[in-house]
A and B are shown apart, each in its own frame.
Chain A
C-alpha cells in the first residue's frame, strides 16, 4: 500500500517538474532579452535539481543527492557570472 502511494506521488511530481522544466526552457528560447534567458536558465537548473532529488526518493539511492548538490553550486556560479557579464560586458575585470 505505501509503495503504491509513494510510486504515484513520485511519478506525479516527476511529471509536474518536467512540465516546469519545459515551460522554463520555452521562456529561455523565446525570452525577449538576455536577462529573461538567464532567469530561464536559473529556473531550469533549479527544477532539474528538484527532479534529481525526486529520482533519489523513487529509487532509494543517495547518489542523486550529490549530483543535485553539484548542479546547485555550479548553476549559482554560472548565473552570477552571466549577470556580471550583462552588467559590465566582461566577467573578470
Chain B
C-alpha cells in the first residue's frame, strides 16, 4: 500500500481526501435521514443524497487518485457514476408506484390524495 501512495503529491492527496470525505459523509447523512423520517414517501428522498453526490464524490476521488498514481488518464469510474445516476430514478419511481398501489388497494389512509389535472 505504501508504495502506491508514497509518491503521491500533496495537492493530489488533499484533493482525494476532500472528495472522499464529502462522498462518505453525504452517504451517511442520507442513511440517517432514511432512518429518521416518519413516512415512507418522505423516506424515499433521503438515500438519493448518497446516490447523487455520494457516488460523485467517491468516484471523483478514485479518478483523481488513479490518474495521478498511474500517470495516465483513468476515468473508468465514470461508468459506475453514469450507471447509478441513470438507474436510481427508475428504481425509486417503480418503488413509489408500487407503494402507492399497495396503499390505495389496502385503503389504509397512508396514500397521498389523488389530484385532478396540473
Judged by a CB distance under 8 angstroms, whether B12 is at the interface is yes
Docked CA distance A20–B29 (Å) = 8
Given contacts A6-B5, A50-B50, contact A12 B21 (CB under 8 A): yes
Complex partner residue of B13 from A6, A49, A54, CB under 8 angstroms: A6
Q: How many A-B residue pairs have CB under 8 A?
A: 176
Chain A residues packing against B (C-beta within 8 Å):
1-3, 5-10, 12-14, 16-17, 19-21, 23-24, 26-27, 33, 35-36, 38-40, 42-43, 46-47, 49-50, 53-54, 56-60, 62, 65, 68-69, 72-73, 76, 79-80, 83-84, 86-87
Chain B residues packing against A (C-beta within 8 Å):
1-6, 8-10, 12-14, 16-18, 20-21, 23-25, 27-28, 30-32, 34-35, 40, 43-44, 47, 50-51, 54-55, 58-59, 61-62, 65-66, 69, 76-77, 79-80, 83-84, 87, 90-92, 94-95, 97-99, 101-102
